[in-house]
Amino acid sequence: MKTLLTLAAISIVAACTLAFQKPVGDVKAPKGKLVVVGGGGTTPEIIERALELAGGKSARMLIVAQASSNPDAGDESKVFWMEKGATNVHVLDLADEALALREVEQAAFIWMPGGDQSRLYDELAKTKVAAAIKKRYLEGAVVGGTSAGAAVQSQVMLIGGEKADLKSVRSGGSETAPGLGVWPEVIVDQHFVKRQRFTRLLACVLDHPELVGVGIDEKTAVVVTGSQIEVLGESTVLVVDARSARKAATKDAELHSATDLKLHVLRRGDKLDLAQRPK
Protein backbone atom coordinates (compact mmCIF):
# COMPACT_ATOMS: atom_id res chain seq x y z
CA MET A 1 0.00 0.00 0.00
CA LYS A 2 2.82 2.38 0.91
CA THR A 3 4.50 1.70 -2.45
CA LEU A 4 1.26 2.36 -4.32
CA LEU A 5 0.75 5.66 -2.51
CA THR A 6 4.33 6.70 -3.29
CA LEU A 7 3.89 5.89 -6.97
CA ALA A 8 0.63 7.82 -7.06
CA ALA A 9 2.28 10.85 -5.49
CA ILE A 10 5.12 10.73 -8.02
CA SER A 11 2.60 10.52 -10.85
CA ILE A 12 0.71 13.55 -9.58
CA VAL A 13 3.89 15.64 -9.29
CA ALA A 14 4.98 14.63 -12.79
CA ALA A 15 1.58 15.49 -14.21
CA CYS A 16 1.61 18.92 -12.55
CA THR A 17 5.09 19.65 -13.92
CA LEU A 18 4.11 18.69 -17.45
CA ALA A 19 0.91 20.70 -17.18
CA PHE A 20 2.94 23.82 -16.42
CA GLN A 21 5.28 23.21 -19.35
CA LYS A 22 2.52 22.71 -21.89
CA PRO A 23 0.93 25.75 -23.53
CA VAL A 24 -2.83 25.71 -23.04
CA GLY A 25 -4.49 23.53 -25.66
CA ASP A 26 -1.29 21.85 -26.84
CA VAL A 27 -0.45 18.21 -26.21
CA LYS A 28 3.35 18.52 -26.12
CA ALA A 29 5.85 20.46 -24.06
CA PRO A 30 7.69 23.00 -26.22
CA LYS A 31 10.96 21.96 -27.83
CA GLY A 32 11.96 25.58 -28.40
CA LYS A 33 13.33 28.20 -26.05
CA LEU A 34 12.32 31.77 -25.25
CA VAL A 35 14.63 34.75 -24.82
CA VAL A 36 12.53 37.47 -23.19
CA VAL A 37 14.20 40.86 -22.68
CA GLY A 38 12.94 43.68 -20.47
CA GLY A 39 13.78 46.46 -22.93
CA GLY A 40 16.25 49.31 -22.57
CA GLY A 41 18.94 47.56 -24.61
CA THR A 42 19.94 44.02 -25.52
CA THR A 43 23.37 43.29 -24.08
CA PRO A 44 26.11 41.37 -25.91
CA GLU A 45 25.64 38.44 -23.52
CA ILE A 46 21.93 38.18 -24.37
CA ILE A 47 22.59 38.49 -28.11
CA GLU A 48 25.29 35.83 -28.01
CA ARG A 49 23.12 33.39 -26.05
CA ALA A 50 20.11 33.90 -28.34
CA LEU A 51 22.13 33.22 -31.48
CA GLU A 52 23.81 30.23 -29.86
CA LEU A 53 20.45 28.71 -28.87
CA ALA A 54 19.14 29.22 -32.41
CA GLY A 55 22.05 27.29 -33.92
CA GLY A 56 24.70 29.94 -34.45
CA LYS A 57 25.16 33.16 -36.39
CA SER A 58 24.09 31.53 -39.67
CA ALA A 59 20.74 30.38 -38.25
CA ARG A 60 17.76 31.68 -40.22
CA MET A 61 16.39 34.64 -38.25
CA LEU A 62 13.06 36.38 -38.77
CA ILE A 63 12.38 39.90 -37.50
CA VAL A 64 8.73 40.49 -36.54
CA ALA A 65 8.63 44.29 -36.18
CA GLN A 66 4.89 44.97 -36.33
CA ALA A 67 4.94 46.48 -32.81
CA SER A 68 6.32 49.64 -34.37
CA SER A 69 4.49 52.09 -36.61
CA ASN A 70 7.83 52.95 -38.21
CA PRO A 71 7.92 51.23 -41.62
CA ASP A 72 11.72 50.98 -41.35
CA ALA A 73 11.69 49.25 -37.95
CA GLY A 74 12.21 45.79 -39.40
CA ASP A 75 15.15 46.84 -41.55
CA GLU A 76 16.69 48.74 -38.64
CA SER A 77 16.47 45.65 -36.44
CA LYS A 78 17.93 43.56 -39.26
CA VAL A 79 20.94 45.89 -39.47
CA PHE A 80 21.36 45.70 -35.67
CA TRP A 81 21.50 41.91 -35.66
CA MET A 82 23.77 41.72 -38.69
CA GLU A 83 26.16 44.12 -36.99
CA LYS A 84 26.17 41.67 -34.06
CA GLY A 85 27.17 38.83 -36.37
CA ALA A 86 23.92 37.28 -37.62
CA THR A 87 24.28 36.43 -41.31
CA ASN A 88 20.86 35.08 -42.33
CA VAL A 89 18.31 37.71 -41.27
CA HIS A 90 14.89 38.27 -42.84
CA VAL A 91 12.06 40.73 -42.09
CA LEU A 92 8.44 39.59 -41.86
CA ASP A 93 6.06 41.24 -44.33
CA LEU A 94 2.38 40.57 -43.64
CA ALA A 95 1.25 41.91 -47.03
CA ASP A 96 1.62 38.40 -48.48
CA GLU A 97 0.28 36.03 -45.82
CA ALA A 98 1.33 32.86 -47.65
CA LEU A 99 4.90 34.14 -47.91
CA ALA A 100 4.83 35.29 -44.29
CA LEU A 101 3.78 31.82 -43.13
CA ARG A 102 6.61 30.22 -45.11
CA GLU A 103 9.06 32.64 -43.50
CA VAL A 104 7.84 31.65 -40.04
CA GLU A 105 7.97 27.93 -40.85
CA GLN A 106 11.59 28.25 -42.00
CA ALA A 107 12.81 30.39 -39.11
CA ALA A 108 15.12 29.03 -36.41
CA PHE A 109 15.00 32.32 -34.48
CA ILE A 110 11.97 34.65 -34.38
CA TRP A 111 12.66 38.07 -32.84
CA MET A 112 10.13 40.78 -31.90
CA PRO A 113 11.55 44.29 -31.28
CA GLY A 114 9.84 46.94 -29.16
CA GLY A 115 6.95 49.29 -29.78
CA ASP A 116 3.33 48.75 -28.79
CA GLN A 117 2.40 45.19 -27.76
CA SER A 118 -1.27 45.75 -28.57
CA ARG A 119 -0.37 46.83 -32.08
CA LEU A 120 1.89 43.80 -32.49
CA TYR A 121 -0.78 41.36 -31.34
CA ASP A 122 -3.52 42.98 -33.42
CA GLU A 123 -1.41 42.87 -36.60
CA LEU A 124 -0.43 39.24 -36.14
CA ALA A 125 -3.89 38.11 -35.03
CA LYS A 126 -5.39 39.26 -38.34
CA THR A 127 -3.51 36.40 -39.98
CA LYS A 128 -2.46 32.82 -39.26
CA VAL A 129 1.01 34.04 -38.38
CA ALA A 130 0.34 34.22 -34.62
CA ALA A 131 -0.56 30.52 -34.52
CA ALA A 132 2.38 29.70 -36.78
CA ILE A 133 4.83 31.37 -34.37
CA LYS A 134 3.50 29.30 -31.46
CA LYS A 135 3.78 26.17 -33.60
CA ARG A 136 7.41 26.90 -34.48
CA TYR A 137 8.20 27.38 -30.78
CA LEU A 138 6.67 24.02 -29.99
CA GLU A 139 8.68 22.45 -32.80
CA GLY A 140 12.00 23.85 -31.59
CA ALA A 141 12.51 27.44 -32.75
CA VAL A 142 13.90 30.13 -30.47
CA VAL A 143 11.36 32.90 -29.98
CA GLY A 144 12.38 36.16 -28.38
CA GLY A 145 11.52 39.79 -27.99
CA THR A 146 12.26 42.95 -26.10
CA SER A 147 9.91 45.43 -24.40
CA ALA A 148 6.62 45.09 -26.33
CA GLY A 149 8.07 41.95 -27.89
CA ALA A 150 8.45 40.56 -24.37
CA ALA A 151 5.00 41.48 -23.06
CA VAL A 152 3.25 39.93 -26.06
CA GLN A 153 4.57 36.45 -25.18
CA SER A 154 1.95 36.16 -22.40
CA GLN A 155 -1.61 34.97 -22.90
CA VAL A 156 -2.82 37.64 -20.46
CA MET A 157 -0.84 40.63 -21.72
CA LEU A 158 -0.21 43.78 -19.71
CA ILE A 159 -0.87 46.98 -21.65
CA GLY A 160 -1.28 50.68 -20.97
CA GLY A 161 1.59 51.32 -18.58
CA GLU A 162 0.64 54.97 -18.29
CA LYS A 163 -2.89 54.04 -17.18
CA ALA A 164 -1.92 51.51 -14.51
CA ASP A 165 -2.56 52.23 -10.84
CA LEU A 166 1.01 52.40 -9.48
CA LYS A 167 0.02 53.63 -6.01
CA SER A 168 -2.37 50.92 -4.81
CA VAL A 169 -2.97 47.20 -5.30
CA ARG A 170 -6.54 47.08 -6.53
CA SER A 171 -8.66 44.57 -8.38
CA GLY A 172 -8.64 45.53 -12.03
CA GLY A 173 -5.93 48.12 -11.44
CA SER A 174 -3.83 46.77 -14.32
CA GLU A 175 -5.10 46.86 -17.89
CA THR A 176 -4.72 43.68 -19.93
CA ALA A 177 -5.52 42.35 -23.38
CA PRO A 178 -4.99 39.03 -25.19
CA GLY A 179 -1.39 38.22 -26.10
CA LEU A 180 0.23 35.60 -28.32
CA GLY A 181 0.30 33.02 -25.53
CA VAL A 182 3.69 31.62 -26.47
CA TRP A 183 4.43 31.62 -22.71
CA PRO A 184 0.88 31.28 -21.38
CA GLU A 185 1.64 30.31 -17.79
CA VAL A 186 3.02 33.72 -16.86
CA ILE A 187 2.33 37.44 -17.04
CA VAL A 188 5.40 39.27 -18.36
CA ASP A 189 6.11 42.86 -17.36
CA GLN A 190 9.06 44.78 -18.79
CA HIS A 191 11.17 47.88 -17.94
CA PHE A 192 10.22 46.57 -14.54
CA VAL A 193 12.48 48.11 -11.88
CA LYS A 194 13.39 51.13 -13.99
CA ARG A 195 9.74 52.18 -14.34
CA GLN A 196 8.63 51.00 -10.87
CA ARG A 197 6.00 48.58 -12.11
CA PHE A 198 5.84 46.21 -9.13
CA THR A 199 2.37 47.38 -8.07
CA ARG A 200 1.07 46.93 -11.61
CA LEU A 201 2.31 43.35 -11.85
CA LEU A 202 1.24 42.44 -8.31
CA ALA A 203 -2.32 43.63 -8.91
CA CYS A 204 -2.46 41.72 -12.18
CA VAL A 205 -1.18 38.52 -10.57
CA LEU A 206 -3.80 38.80 -7.83
CA ASP A 207 -6.43 39.24 -10.53
CA HIS A 208 -5.06 36.06 -12.17
CA PRO A 209 -3.54 34.02 -9.31
CA GLU A 210 -3.18 30.93 -11.49
CA LEU A 211 -0.48 32.77 -13.46
CA VAL A 212 3.05 33.64 -12.31
CA GLY A 213 4.20 37.25 -12.66
CA VAL A 214 7.65 37.75 -14.21
CA GLY A 215 8.94 41.33 -14.05
CA ILE A 216 12.07 41.81 -16.18
CA ASP A 217 14.15 44.94 -15.79
CA GLU A 218 15.99 46.77 -18.57
CA LYS A 219 19.11 45.23 -20.16
CA THR A 220 18.03 41.95 -18.56
CA ALA A 221 16.52 38.77 -19.97
CA VAL A 222 15.15 35.40 -19.02
CA VAL A 223 15.91 32.32 -21.07
CA VAL A 224 12.99 29.90 -20.80
CA THR A 225 13.57 26.17 -21.20
CA GLY A 226 10.39 24.24 -20.44
CA SER A 227 9.40 25.48 -17.01
CA GLN A 228 12.86 26.74 -16.01
CA ILE A 229 14.03 30.32 -16.33
CA GLU A 230 17.62 31.57 -16.28
CA VAL A 231 18.51 35.23 -15.84
CA LEU A 232 20.98 37.07 -18.09
CA GLY A 233 21.99 40.71 -18.19
CA GLU A 234 22.71 43.60 -15.90
CA SER A 235 19.73 43.98 -13.55
CA THR A 236 17.09 41.87 -11.82
CA VAL A 237 14.01 39.78 -12.46
CA LEU A 238 11.20 39.61 -9.91
CA VAL A 239 8.88 36.61 -9.86
CA VAL A 240 5.53 36.97 -8.08
CA ASP A 241 3.77 33.68 -7.33
CA ALA A 242 0.25 33.64 -5.85
CA ARG A 243 -0.70 30.10 -6.91
CA SER A 244 -0.74 28.90 -3.31
CA ALA A 245 -1.72 32.20 -1.72
CA ARG A 246 -4.82 32.74 0.36
CA LYS A 247 -6.68 35.53 -1.39
CA ALA A 248 -9.73 37.35 -0.08
CA ALA A 249 -12.72 37.83 -2.34
CA THR A 250 -12.48 41.26 -3.93
CA LYS A 251 -14.89 43.32 -5.98
CA ASP A 252 -13.70 45.36 -8.95
CA ALA A 253 -11.62 48.41 -7.92
CA GLU A 254 -11.41 47.23 -4.29
CA LEU A 255 -8.06 46.82 -2.57
CA HIS A 256 -6.65 43.30 -2.85
CA SER A 257 -5.96 41.23 0.26
CA ALA A 258 -3.81 38.09 0.16
CA THR A 259 -1.35 36.16 2.30
CA ASP A 260 1.36 33.57 1.60
CA LEU A 261 2.45 34.95 -1.74
CA LYS A 262 5.96 34.05 -2.79
CA LEU A 263 8.46 36.56 -4.21
CA HIS A 264 11.76 35.72 -5.90
CA VAL A 265 14.41 38.33 -6.73
CA LEU A 266 16.81 36.93 -9.32
CA ARG A 267 20.01 38.23 -10.90
CA ARG A 268 22.41 37.13 -13.62
CA GLY A 269 23.10 33.39 -13.41
CA ASP A 270 20.13 32.57 -11.18
CA LYS A 271 17.74 29.82 -12.26
CA LEU A 272 14.23 29.00 -11.10
CA ASP A 273 11.85 26.17 -11.99
CA LEU A 274 8.37 27.69 -12.21
CA ALA A 275 6.78 24.24 -12.13
CA GLN A 276 7.71 24.02 -8.45
CA ARG A 277 4.66 25.42 -6.73
CA PRO A 278 5.20 27.15 -3.37
CA LYS A 279 4.29 25.08 -0.33
| pLDDT (tens digit per residue) in 211-269 | 999 999 999 999 999 999 999 999 999 999 999 999 999 999 999 999 999 999 999 99
Domain assignment present for 8 = no
279 within domain boundaries? no
Give the range among 18-27, 83-92, 95-104, 263-272 with minimum mean pLDDT.
18-27
pLDDT score of 142: 98
Report yes or no on 47 lying in a domain. yes
| Residue 15 predicted with pLDDT over 60 | no
Measure the CA dihedral 148/151/155/156, to 10°.
Answer: -110
- Report d(CA 254, CA 203) in Å as an integer: 11
In this structure, what CATH number is given to the domain that contains residue 35? Answer: 3.40.50.880
Structural domain boundaries enclosing 144 = 26-273
| Rounded CA separation 162/160 (Å) | 5
Inside any domain, residue 136: yes
Q: What is the pLDDT of residues 57-83, one digit of tens each?
A: 999 999 999 999 999 999 999 999 999
**pLDDT at residue 247, as a whole number:** 95
DSSP the chain: -HHHHHHHHHHHHHHHHHHHHSPTT-SS--SSEEEEE-SS---HHHHHHHHHHHTSTTS-EEE--TT-S-TTHHHHHHHHHHHTT--SEEE--TTSHHHHHHHHHH-SEEEE-SS-HHHHHHHHHTSSHHHHHHHHHHHT-EEEEETHHHHTTSSEEE--GGGS--SS-BTT-S-EEE---SSTTEEEEESTTTTT-HHHHHHHHHHSTTSEEEEE-TTEEEEEETTEEEEEESS-EEEEE-TT-EE----TTSBP-EES-EEEEE-TT-EEETTS---
Is there a contact between 147 and 114 (Cβ–Cβ < 8 Å)?
Answer: yes
**Is 182 a domain residue?**
yes
Q: What is the pTM of this model?
A: 0.89
Residue 106 Cα to chain centre, angstroms = 22
In a domain, 137, yes or no: yes
pLDDT tens digits along 95-137: 999 999 999 999 999 999 999 999 999 999 999 999 999 999 9
What domain count does the chain have?
A: 1
Each residue of 42-57: pLDDT tens digit?
999 999 999 999 999 9
The residues annotated as belonging to the active site are 147, 191, 218
Residue 140: inside a domain, yes or no? yes
**Could you tell me if residue 10 is inside a domain?**
no
